[in-house]
Amino acid sequence: MWRIMAVDMFEDLGDAFRMLFRFTWPIADAEVTEVEIERVGDPDDGRLRLAVCYKFYIGDDGPYCGESFWEPKFTFRLANRMRDARRRLKQRHVVPVHYRSGDPSQNRLDRDAWRDL
């Protein structure tokens, strides 16, 4: 049992390490499928984040799906900014996504998707 947990832990650690270098991964165009404003943590805390779901294809392979989050810190009128951002990132909006060439299920939105929010 411990051996299985250790293997899982090292696989998770390897995945996290590879994510650090995602800026070197290839880029594809993804289509936004859903955008939601979510409350994070304690309901009294008032922390919000924008969850963006997307799908993309690599040639004939796919669709591959992913979800990325935008959680600005210390912003004035955060709820208004979130609503504006949700309006800008509509369904079918095209956004750049980095994907791992050996395993496209590991992917993240490019920073440019968040730039104008």
Contacts of 76 (CB under 8 A, 6+ apart): none
Instruction: State yes or no: pLDDT of 47 exceeds 90.
Output: no
> Tokens for 25?
């991964």
Interatomic CA distance for residues 71 and 82, integer angstroms: 9
Residue range 38-48: mean pLDDT, rounded: 77
Interatomic CA distance for residues 63 and 37, integer angstroms: 24
Predicted TM-score (pTM) of this structure: 0.74
Q: How many domains does the chain have?
A: 1
The domain of 31 spans 2-113
Contacts of 29 (CB under 8 A, 6+ apart): 56, 94, 95, 96, 97
Edge-to-edge order in the sheet of strand 61-70 = 61-70, 48-58, 27-39, 94-100, 103-109
Query: When comparing pLDDT for 96 and 19, which is higher?
Result: 96
Instruction: State yes or no: pLDDT of 6 exceeds 80.
Output: no
- Using pLDDT thresholds of 50, 70 and 90, give the confidence band for residue 17: very low
